[in-house]
Chains A and B, each alone.
Chain A
Amino acid sequence: MQKLGMGQAVNQALREEMHRDPNVFLAGEGVGVSIHLNPMFPTHGLLEEFGPGRIKDTPVSEAAIAGLAVGAAEAGLRPVVEIMFNPFFTLASDMIVNHAAKLRYLSGGKSAFPLVVRMKSGAGIGAGCQHSHNLEAWVAHCPGLKVVMPATSADAKGLLKSAIRDDNPVIFIEHMGLYFAPMPVPVDEYTTPIGQAEVKRPGTDVTVVTWSGMLGVAMAAAEKLAQEDVQVEIVDLRTLVPLDKETILASVAKTGRLVILHEATRTGGFGGEVAAVVMEEGFHHLKAPLRRVTGPDIPVPASPPLERFYIPGDEQLVAAIKEIL
């Protein structure tokens, strides 16, 4: 085992896949020469290793970056492009939503679009709402895209390798807060399948379904509740689309209680989708109404006390769990 931040794990995945497949190339703002001279960042050192032919620094042009990926993917390359922060996805969204997601369908299945769009998400950096806005539910709502949101470095590495090998467009969202949290990552070659959730902590009394940066919050709440003899089972979705309903339903069947935890805002958040699946297919397992713990329906504010108020915390989760025990 090695200990890596999520950025370093992503870096390893990119390196390994670029060595494996000459059709993989990277493009984005500062993916080559960056304002961060920091090995914890995902594209650190790649320009030196692979050269400017495969590590393409671009102008500040998100639509062109995403379009580059769409066009090049159809032409047989495997683009991995970066949108610097999740909110800037809006500028790339026509290419992703109307094209990456739809062109295969529109071709009657003749064309494939093996591309990956990586972006950083997450609150907690004090930069405010134009840098911190979790938009995973937007992309999850578009048929034709896969949506991956790892919570650990090991999953990030394995899932990114799968995403690059996948013949579909994959939106790969990295939580910035995890770049600086070293976590164990296997040294040997491996991939992690897209579309499989993982039980990150087994328990018997209540299921918490979560993903990305909120796994840590769920773990902390589970620790606290364990002191009170409440055993929390934590399901880390890892992939939102395709959604691993079986793992969620199996856990709810075991515990009979469900709390969904996500950092994104509440209304229209992906938690609503998880809730609907459980209501439709696992209602009979539920011993109590399910609960959602999410960011409130506000833009992420810059001021530290306001931003802390925004980000769901373990105490909120503990309280929500106690409500339904």
Chain B
Amino acid sequence: MKISAEKQKEMLWTMLLSRRFEDELVELCKVEGKIPGMTILSTGQEAVGSGACAALEPEDVIITNHRSHNHLLAKGAEPNALMAEIYCKRTGCNKGKSGTLHLAVPEVNAPCTSTVVGAGPPIAVGQAFAQQYKGEQRVTACFFGDGAAAEGSVHEAMNLAALWRLPLIFICENNVYAGAQRHEEHTPVPNLAVRAAAYAMPGETVDGNDVLAVYLAVQEARERALAGEGPSLVECKTYRCRGHGETDPQHYQPREEICSWLEKCPIPRLRDDLIARGVLTAADYQEMEGRAESIVMEAVRFAEESPYPDPEEALEDVLA
């Protein structure tokens, strides 16, 4: 395998950090009034954001959607500022204006999280166009769900990106559900990667719980994009282990299905693999867990102690 040990450990780390971060949110959002709005988590899907972002360089751009925490943490977003924004505090990365749903972290080239399903891909077209226009050696990756693949905007974006050979990677995070609708209830094709053929771009379906497979697919798509060969579609098959949001009772998700996917959790999978291959020791992993714990606890402390914005701050930032 041509992935360096460091890279593999980095992926394990961002998955672990993201899981610990979101596990904390599971608890925090049970406390009335602590986490405003919705709490939408990527538990069990971390291999997608962590694998993809590991294949990107810091100067590459990501555009993400409502299920963004893992994507952003893997891209290097600062946990304190993220947590404070999720708390809607003034010290949050968006001064409390966006909350969990629209986290924008331009500092790490993650300028837009749109919770309007299907809105990411057209914006990613614009980012990739700017990269091409300026002759830069960077690419844009866009995360969207299987549900989003049914929005017309996603098709328009794919067609335009392919037509103009934009340096864009469409990453479809197929977690089986879109709200309460199963994959087969919202699209007749079992693999969304086939859509790529309609736009004459490569489309690949990978095991979205295998972080290394995601990494390799995105890395290949990135090389293609940098070589001027245009966009690619990478469909990552994974599973939404929690509800759409934390208030969703998951009454439509079979218990056995959830359990079988929990067993395929990408984190122990990579951990065990790395230990078996001698890349990692059990002690290394414990150290990682401890580090994730203290980062998340520090983020919570920071968010808790931060003030809310003053009401009049609502009026700021509307226009430049």
Contacts and interface: CB of A to CB of B under 8 A. Distances in A.
Contact of A309 (B151, B247, B312): B312
Contact of B37 (A61, A87, A127, A305): A127
A123 B304 CA distance: 24
A108 to B, nearest CB: 30
A279 interface: no
Interface string B305-316: 000111111110
A130 B179 contact: no
B97 A34 contact: no
Contacts of B36: 126-127, 302-304, 307
B98 A302 contact: yes
Contacts of A35: 179-180, 243-245, 247-248
Interface string B216-255: 0000000000000000000000000001110111011000
Contacts of B313: 306
A82 to B, nearest CB: 12
Interface residues of A, number: 40
A131 interface: yes
B38 interface: yes
A325 interface: no
Interface residues of B, number: 48
Interface in A270-325: 296-299, 301-310
A90 B247 CA distance: 26
A34 B244 CA distance: 10
A90 B100 CA distance: 22
Interface in B173-217: 178-181, 185-187
B318 interface: yes
Given A57-B185, A303-B99, A91 B311 contact: no
A60 B148 contact: yes
Nearest to A57: B181
B186 A130 contact: no
A29 B114 CA distance: 18
Contacts of A64: 152
A97 interface: no
B120 interface: no
Contact of A128 (B97, B185, B244, B248): B97
Contact of B314 (A36, A61, A301): A301
B79 interface: no
Given A60-B147, A304-B308, A29 B179 contact: yes
Interface in B95-139: 96-102, 114-118
Nearest to A132: B37
B159 interface: no
A30 interface: yes
8 contacts: A29-B178, A30-B181, A59-B178, A61-B151, A126-B36, A126-B99, A297-B318, A303-B308
Interface of A: 29-30, 33-37, 57-64, 87-88, 90-91, 125-131, 296-299, 301-310
Given A303-B88, A305-B309, 18 more contacts: A29-B179, A30-B179, A60-B147, A126-B36, A126-B37, A127-B99, A128-B98, A130-B101, A130-B115, A131-B37, A301-B96, A301-B97, A302-B102, A305-B96, A305-B311, A306-B97, A306-B311, A310-B314
- By Cβ-Cβ distance, the 3 closest A-B pairs, closest first, are A302-B99, A303-B96, A126-B36
